[in-house]
Structure formats: structure tokens, C-alpha cells
Structure 1
Amino acid sequence: MEQGKSLVLLVTANNPQSQLFINYLHDQLDCPVSVVAPGTEWKGKDASPTVVLLDADHIDEATMQQWHVKAAEAGDMSLAAFNLRDEEHAVEILSAMNLQGVFYRSDSLEMICKGLRILLEGNLWMSRSLMTRMIQFFRRQQLNSYRPVCGLTHRELEIIAMLGTGASNIEIADQLFVSEHTVKSHLYNIFRKIKVHNRLQAVNWARQNLGAPPPLVGRRQRDASHQGSPHPN
């Protein structure tokens, strides 16, 4: 199967077991397969990852969000998660980020290879029942978008979306060019309006009512042009 410069990148712990998995994928897919440890920057030069496989057993949510941003910046990169426990776990992940493929712990090696071939062709790989659930999920979000969102202001919606990326108060302040005290005040108002008590509850509320936070690509570009700017209150 000729895939040109396509590359499958496995994001997981680099150990003998993952190396065996990589060798198997390479033999079956007839395209380059590489591995990068979670939290390590990918520095490949010869080819850009076409399909990135995120190992749910070894990657935290913040790292997944980082790859979410990279995929949005690349434009031609497909993200897939594997070692997911079950469909409920898949729904949880898909409500927080955009994935083109989903693989479960119970999937055979043959099934994983079949799914990767589909992803390399630019198509989706997930079960019909999962797609149906996600369509229903996004339809509910669309309906909610036509209603007032608990009186949240535009700035408060921005901040609650950033919570979903794992950003700290200081990081949110840097992104929005405000003080950390201002962020804390906004968070207090957000928690009161949506009737939650902590950041995790706020993130879960946002996923159910607002959907996955968009990658902050444009904001990062603005950061570069405003380096050194003071933080107004």
C-alpha cells in the first residue's frame, strides 16, 4: 500500500512493547511509523505526521489538547486515540477535542491497521453508534447556542473555554492581556452563574453546554505580536 510521504506517529511511552507495535504497523501499512514520548516535541524533518495516534493510557488531557492545537495548525493531520476503555470514554474525549479516529483496548491489531488505512485515506474511523451519539450531542449544543448561556458574558465564555485546555490563571491572564486578579474575579462570577464549585465542574459543564474549546491558534499569533505589552486591569 503506497502512502507517499504519509507518516503514522505514535504518541506513547517508548518501550519494547511499543516498538513491537510500531514494527507491526510498519509491516502492515507499508509507510513510515515513528514514536514520540508524551510531552516531547516532534522534530521530524522528512515528513509531517499524517495520522497521530494518541495513547490514552500514557497521555493526559493537557497533552491531548496540545496535539489538538498542532493538528489545527497543520491542517492535514488526522488525530486518533487508542486504548480507550469503551464508548463512554470515547464520548468524553470527543466532547473535548476533535478526533478523526477512535480505537478501543479490545480492538485487534488487524482492526487497528484497517482503521489506520481508512484514516490515511482521509476518512473517519469510528463506530456508527458513536457517531450517532456525537451527532445528537452536537445537535443539543446547536440548540443551546440559540439560548442565553446562563448570563455569561463574552469574556466569561472565553475564560471558561480556556479552562478546558488546562490553562492556569496566569496563562489565561497572559492570553487575554489582563491581570491574574481579573481572571480570578471572572472565575468567581462564572462559578456563581453556572452553579459549580471548582474548575473541573466548570469544564464538565462547558463540555455539555458549549462543546470542545477551539484551538487558540489565532490568539497565539496575537501573543507574538504583543510580547512585552503590559497587562491592563
Structure 2
Amino acid sequence: MDQDKNMLLVTSSSPQCQLFIDYLRKQLACTITVLPPGSEWKPREIQPTLILLDADHVGEELMQKWHARAMEDERISLAAFNLLDEDHAVQTLSALHLRGVFYRSDSLEMICKGLQSLMTGELWMSRSLMTRMISFLRRQQLNSYRPVCGLTHRELEIIGLLGSGASNGEIADRLFVSEHTVKSHLYNIFRKIDVHNRIQAVNWARQNLGVPPPPDQHYPRRDAGHTRGPG
């Protein structure tokens, strides 16, 4: 195992969680830091970090934020634990780029074995899960050639930025439009694809357009010399 690698465990504090952390610290030759969900994390080291997300305590919106952060920093890799079953794993993997998944029923020994593999750069998931994900990605590729509910190019851009975790203000900055224009586009998107909120829109996009790409580096950041125009 790469002993220079750090592990960040994103979970809520509890006696059971503390026993789990103590066990990992005894078994794994790495630095383990615990972070409550929703707390801000500023890495102190330059070494790669494996971030282990507790599915029992980290909601989908927060997982998407970690996903966006990992896409921007190649030193970060993500895994999730406490997943209910393989169906839950497929649903989670369709939304996030995870290198490994652990089920609630996994033994401590199995979790440690998987973490050791992840920290050497390998993947950790079952063959059946990989097979299901390959089928899922193939369906996404087929869907990408179908009409997309009349969404305009600008609306497709916005729904892609939603998938990267961008806020309305960040989307406005990237596209050089006002937040009011972004809200108007979102209203039209929700109406066309028959969803009611951002999370549903992102899930729809993943099912019908493929997993949204990381933040587009071709969009320049707006500075003081630019003004927002109409969308």
C-alpha cells in the first residue's frame, strides 16, 4: 500500500463509527481523518487522498459536490460505503465516479481488503456490478443519439453544468448571463423534461444524456471587465 496516501472518512460521529475508525487505523498504514457531512475540508498535504463517503449520512446533493471536487483535483478518488445492495450501488455509480463501493453487509476484513486495493490505485467492485454498469453505459450511448425533449444547446449546457454541482451564480458566471436568465432556462428545462428540482434534472440527464462531464475548462471565468448579457 502507498503509505503516503491519506484517507478522509465523511460520516457522522457515533460509538459504532468510532469503533470502525479505530479498526481501520489499526489495520491500514495511512493517515485517517474524519469529517462530519457538510463540513468544509481543506487538504493540508499534497499526497493523494481517498475519500470514503458514508451513504447513511451523506445525501445525494452532498455526494454530487464531492464528485465535482474530485473531477477538479486528480489527487482525489472517491469510494462509498454502507450501500444497501447492488441496486443501490448501480444507482450511486450512475451519478458519481466512484472507484469502489462497500455494502452494509461487508465484513470489516473485507472493507480493509478493498481499501488496501483502492489505495494502490485499483478498483473495488464485484464482477456482476461492473457488468451492470457496462450495460448502463451502453444504454446511455444509445440514448445520446435520440432526440432530447426539445432542449436547446444552451439548455443542454446548463443541465451539464448542473451535473458538475455548479450553483445558479456559477452557471451565470461561466455563460456570461444573468442569474435571472439561468433561472428562466431552468424553468424551461424542468418543464420540458417533466421534473421539479435540480437533483431530478441531473438524474434525468444521467439516464438520458450520459454522465455529465466535469466543469468545462473552455468557459472563461468572468472578471470585472465583463458584463452579463442576455441568455
TM-score by length of 1: 0.86
Q: Could you tell me how far apart the structure 2 residues matched to 1:217 and 1:185 are?
A: 22
**CA distance 1:56–1:227, shift in 2 (3 Å):** farther
**Corresponding position of 1:55:** 54
1:92 is aligned to 2:101: no
* 2:35 aligned partner, one-letter code: V
**Corresponding position of 1:125:** 124
**CA distance 1:7–1:141, shift in 2 (3 Å):** same
Q: Percent identity?
A: 65
* 1:112 aligned partner, one-letter code: I
1:198 is aligned to 2:217: no
1:9 is aligned to 2:12: no
The answer to whether the 8 Å contact 1:141/1:208 transfers is yes
Q: Could you tell me how far apart the structure 1 residues matched to 2:24 and 2:104 are?
A: 16
Cα deviation for residue 229 of structure 1 reads: 3.4
More helix by share: 1
**CA distance 1:145–1:118, shift in 2 (3 Å):** same
Q: Could you tell me how far apart the structure 1 residues matched to 2:220 and 2:211 are?
A: 22
The answer to whether the 8 Å contact 1:81/1:103 transfers is yes
Cα deviation for residue 227 of structure 1 reads: 5.0
**CA distance 1:28–1:134, shift in 2 (3 Å):** same
Q: Could you tell me how far apart the structure 2 residues matched to 1:167 and 1:70 are?
A: 11
**CA distance 1:228–1:10, shift in 2 (3 Å):** farther
Cα deviation for residue 205 of structure 1 reads: 1.9
The answer to whether the 8 Å contact 1:151/1:193 transfers is yes
1:180 is aligned to 2:179: yes
1:230 is aligned to 2:227: yes
Give the CA RMSD over aligned residues.
2.4
The answer to whether the 8 Å contact 1:29/1:117 transfers is yes
Task: Between 156-165 and 116-125, report the one with greater CA deviation.
Answer: 156-165
* 1:222 aligned partner, one-letter code: P
**CA distance 1:165–1:28, shift in 2 (3 Å):** same
3-state SS in 2 of match to 1:70: helix
3-state SS in 2 of match to 1:222: coil
Structure 1 unaligned runs (5+)?
none
Q: Could you tell me how far apart the structure 2 residues matched to 1:19 and 1:49 are?
A: 24
User: Size of the alignment, in residue pairs?
Assistant: 229
Q: Could you tell me how far apart the structure 1 residues matched to 2:18 and 2:205 are?
A: 38
Provide runs of 4+ in structure 1 moved above 6 Å.
none
Q: Could you tell me how far apart the structure 1 residues matched to 2:191 and 2:217 are?
A: 29
**CA distance 1:3–1:174, shift in 2 (3 Å):** same
Task: Between 77-86 and 163-172, report the one with greater CA deviation.
Answer: 163-172
Cα deviation for residue 203 of structure 1 reads: 3.0
CA-to-partner distance for each residue in 1:189-232, whole Å, 9 max, x for gaps?
323433x042254333212111222232637x833x52573221
Q: Could you tell me how far apart the structure 1 residues matched to 2:201 and 2:62 are?
A: 20
**Corresponding position of 2:103:** 104
